[in-house]
Structure 1
């Protein structure tokens, strides 16, 4: 082996070690200092000698003391007489911890943790809110989190039962390559209740619904045993969440789902509380977690508003990391805005833009996130067609959410529900492939022009949709491809000096910018041909504007 190869392998080993998904520390000695970086997840594992009765219902906590205060972090049981204190640190500095428990072998275990500065370029910590810009999401390091979500309810089922998770890794790599940074997902779903496409019979490798070998409790979904949890289910789920963290993808984790034929235990039963509490205990240390009590929480007559409110309180009591919490039900969020950290919407209406704008006005101190807008891009199988399946129509609805100042979610029928095609771009000729690249371009646009600094101004819309950044002097207008022209001059006159203004156009399908040119100051210039008319929705961007005194 030559010296270059040796250096390369050494660097690769260093990268793998530094950024391993979960660092494991087995039975650390009393004086051992656990060294980690910011936002690295660590499993500090203690194995006891004696069996413990009903271990999942035992209370064990790690009391962590450091420069940022005291945390009381739940320690969870992982089978085989092993207990895990899962920890990640937000700030640099030293901590000490001590375990508290009625289990003698655990009680009083002590240790030290040293958290050093994050070294991973694209790692920024958990998702938080900021008081000075309350309608946007941010990371713990202060940078903006452009919440661009991708629904994949059955992600937990890919590679289930396997030691490695190659399918999961591949799909996640395609998600992140194309600008998505969040997956809306269920802890567990069983099957869909609607009709399935007959073509699936010829492709069982794409069907994940109805599997009886996957269940978070003992037994199976058809013959559940609610006496305790299936630890192996959660050990596999660890791999999924850890891989998402490694690829810097947030898990928008819906703890329940009511319409996917799941055999849930009765609400507020011992089994129900055990499941819910265990999920929060086990995954709170991951910085890439956002909690959502239930998908479509008050649909289907399953849950009550009081039950959902109690689950939120339960989450906040158990979660020592204060991860964001919401509920996939606009009615609940609207009636209980103080209970949730952001407003979750599900709105399919043709008037989507107006509904998003209205919600933004109604809740000026909360981000607005439309989790389902009725756009479900077509795939080789008709899984759930919703209201819109055309790729461009679905893309437009995502832009409508964004130009209303909210956040949005993309659905492809080949990954969103029981059908999961983990490698869509490796399928044969003629196979309908998703237009993920449209969202890569969308993400690029709002990276080039910082989304968090823009606000929608309705009167400025003309015949498009407006976002305005007054501080930096930039105005964007979303222009549907049918529009000949979108007016902006009269609006600019009210606010800006545009004597030095420049403009470019952005193609939403290709990500192409036109060459920058001097802004056309004519009030009526619809005789001038706009770029990509009838070919693609476009965005007119006017910059170098100066606010009038």
Structure 2
């Protein structure tokens, strides 16, 4: 299958010393071709030792890509001249050298990989220091949309939609086969939206039903390159779940040579993409297949191979709780009605790591009943996302029409009677918190009153989230204790429309129950008190 690498730049090595120029965070494939056939090429260990002035040496693994070609995939967050030399068990590659000049990034909206910040450890940041507001969308079967095609029309369309609505992360699987739960009979009339059970897609040779674990299906990964590349081009992070146990995948035995080959290959092939976050497995310990020891070994394995130190976690809150030193952030899955309290407790328990609720039981309804979970009403799902945020954590949005085996890649081009996703709710959410610097807010839950509090002493802003049924929200105590509010202003934010009310002077009556808040009974709203002077700095 012909391969289009998108924005990956391809370099063929013909000279002894290759001269390469690339911008920061650009992805480059430097190809080394063997003159002879090599037995078991996927098992050969070849590394590029990369060194820049004043930098530690990176030991970056090459991966085999078929046709006697090995790929040195490289990106850099640091400008300057780098030199590399290969160390290889194949003699013809041993000692091969090259030079890479990394120039300043000029691409608008590109900020590098997602990292942690020691001075603000409960939030995500980009490598250039900008806060990363983790606005995630689940799409497990993204890999399958255009499989077998030279171009990616469906994938590109869906990613364009997600980009337009400001989602900047997709929670996804490397591979899933099918779902075990009952499928909506209406799907039979819309086979173009069904991606489960396809026998022509498999990361090993053979098929999911008749696997050949002796080696990998390189065409699968060549296609996957294009998907990750398109995401990188749109600055959308791939939260990549390397395994999934409940999607009927025929995996090789744990710790077998085939299992290790697959896992190591994923780490080798995708670590150079700045838009990668690793997740060992979806619901890692929920189905009895994997052990805690195995997941720990997989984390160590990834860290030993990943020369870029991409963030890694495990979609299992129990594992993260028991092994907090092994993960970079705490992953949660919580459907309980006490979601806010549970998120708040996790934030208080893990003061040195971000908390990310990947699955909170809210799966907004679509034209097909795919997996209803606990909540399907769009406003109820939105409210649960805001509860995660107002507890100081991060969150994920699910739409039943795209999160699992059913993927409607062009929902807004469907007939009027099709239920459309409310992506706009989340665009409003991200716009709000990008403007008001989410990374500077702290949930002061003792000041919640009848809503939910976030307080930003650094910027002088207090937010109070209140459900649409709420008559009154008390904010006076938090202001009196923490701020000089003599010049404070207030306005309201409509979570459904993104509208703001007019700014006005803060209403100083602490118990004015007769003060009418806008959009009462119509939408959940956020009261924003700004122009505050802090008595102290967080």
Normalised by the size of structure 1, how large is the TM-score?
0.96
1:333 is aligned to 320
1:44 is aligned to 30
2:86 is aligned to 99
Matched, 1:65 2:51: yes
Q: CA RMSD in A?
A: 0.9
- Of 82, 88, 97, 2:69 maps to 82
**Is the contact between residue 18 and residue 97 of structure 2 (CA under 8 Å) also seen in structure 1?**
no
1:11 is aligned to none
Q: Secondary structure at the match of 1:344?
A: strand
**Is the contact between residue 360 and residue 368 of structure 1 (CA under 8 Å) also seen in structure 2?**
yes
Q: Secondary structure at the match of 1:338?
A: coil
1:116 & 1:258 partners in 2: Cα distance? 42
Q: CA deviation at 1:32?
A: 3.1
1:55 & 1:278 partners in 2: Cα distance? 12
1:163 is aligned to 150
**Is the contact between residue 25 and residue 75 of structure 2 (CA under 8 Å) also seen in structure 1?**
yes
Q: CA deviation at 1:28?
A: 4.1
1:455 is aligned to 442
Gap regions ≥5 residues in structure 1: 1-18
1:30 is aligned to 16
Aligned positions of 1:21-420 closer than 5 A: 21-67=7-53, 68-420=55-407
1:144 & 1:29 partners in 2: Cα distance? 42
1:375 & 1:548 partners in 2: Cα distance? 39
1:399 & 1:495 partners in 2: Cα distance? 24
1:110 & 1:491 partners in 2: Cα distance? 61
Provide Cα deviations, 1:288-334, integer angstroms capped at 9, x if missing partner: 00000000000110000000000000000000000000000000000
1:536 is aligned to 523
**Is the contact between residue 342 and residue 368 of structure 1 (CA under 8 Å) also seen in structure 2?**
yes
Q: Secondary structure at the match of 1:278?
A: helix
1:6 is aligned to none
1:29 & 1:155 partners in 2: Cα distance? 38
2:34 & 2:534 partners in 1: Cα distance? 67
Q: CA deviation at 1:196?
A: 0.3
Q: Secondary structure at the match of 1:65?
A: strand
**Is the contact between residue 124 and residue 354 of structure 2 (CA under 8 Å) also seen in structure 1?**
yes
**Is the contact between residue 28 and residue 44 of structure 1 (CA under 8 Å) also seen in structure 2?**
no
2:65 & 2:528 partners in 1: Cα distance? 54
Q: CA deviation at 1:406?
A: 0.2
2:13 & 2:405 partners in 1: Cα distance? 40
**Is the contact between residue 88 and residue 285 of structure 1 (CA under 8 Å) also seen in structure 2?**
yes
Aligned positions of 1:447-486 closer than 5 A: 447-486=434-473
1:499 is aligned to 486
**Is the contact between residue 6 and residue 226 of structure 2 (CA under 8 Å) also seen in structure 1?**
no
Name the count of aligned residue pairs: 531
Gap regions ≥5 residues in structure 2: none
Q: CA deviation at 1:20?
A: 5.7
Provide Cα deviations, 1:15-45, integer angstroms capped at 9, x if missing partner: xxxx961000012422331000000000000
Q: Secondary structure at the match of 2:364?
A: coil
1:412 & 1:406 partners in 2: Cα distance? 20
Q: Secondary structure at the match of 1:337?
A: coil
Q: Secondary structure at the match of 2:84?
A: strand
Aligned positions of 1:522-533 closer than 5 A: 522-533=509-520
- Alignment CA distance shift 1:548-1:98 (3 Å): closer
Q: CA deviation at 1:157?
A: 0.2
1:115 & 1:444 partners in 2: Cα distance? 32
Q: CA deviation at 1:491?
A: 2.5
1:102 & 1:502 partners in 2: Cα distance? 68
Q: Secondary structure at the match of 2:57?
A: strand
1:249 & 1:491 partners in 2: Cα distance? 37
**Is the contact between residue 330 and residue 354 of structure 2 (CA under 8 Å) also seen in structure 1?**
yes
Provide Cα deviations, 1:182-217, integer angstroms capped at 9, x if missing partner: 000000000000000000000000000000000000
1:458 & 1:272 partners in 2: Cα distance? 45
2:485 & 2:58 partners in 1: Cα distance? 53
**Is the contact between residue 24 and residue 45 of structure 1 (CA under 8 Å) also seen in structure 2?**
yes
1:16 is aligned to none
